[in-house]
Amino acid sequence: MAKITHKKIESSTLIEVLIAMVVIMVVFSVAMGVFNNVLSSGISLKKLQAQAQMEVLVKASREEVLIESKTVNIDSVDYRLETKPSEIRGMVLLEVSASERGTPLGNIKCLIRANDGKATD
């Protein structure tokens, strides 16, 4: 007659499994927080695009004889061009700033000759 042997199988208890799951969830949540901070603190593609567009706006403003303060919206980014009198005679300070939904993306300041529209950075 065949003899039936009962082998005891070792396994984890329900409490051990739950504790392991909690530890794994804590580790993943901390890792996601660090990953999110790294992504938000780095320079974004939107900031690079805004910087390039501000340089284009400065070049376009150099070619205009009469420079006026205005706001331009390009690709959901607001560019504010402001002219201010400069301490240097015959020069105007042009400040271009970019913001997206109130979040500043960057700004550029340059001096432009008031009489012929040519500028120096």
CATH number of 46-120: 2.20.25
Return the percentage of the chain with pLDDT > 70, whole number: 88
Note the pLDDT of residue 34.
94
Is 0.75 topped by the overall pTM?
no
Give the residue carrying structure tokens 């320079």: 43
- Please state the domain extents for the chain: 11-42, 46-120
When pLDDT is cut at 50, 70 and 90, the band that residue 25 belongs to is very high
The Cβ of residue 67 has, within 10 Å, a number of other Cβ atoms equal to 19
The Cβ of residue 114 has, within 10 Å, a number of other Cβ atoms equal to 17
Give the residue carrying structure tokens 């993306």: 105
Contact 76, 53 (CB under 8 A): no
Note the pLDDT of residue 44.
76
**9: pLDDT strictly greater than 70:** yes
Encoding tokens for residue 50? 């805004």
When pLDDT is cut at 50, 70 and 90, the band that residue 85 belongs to is confident
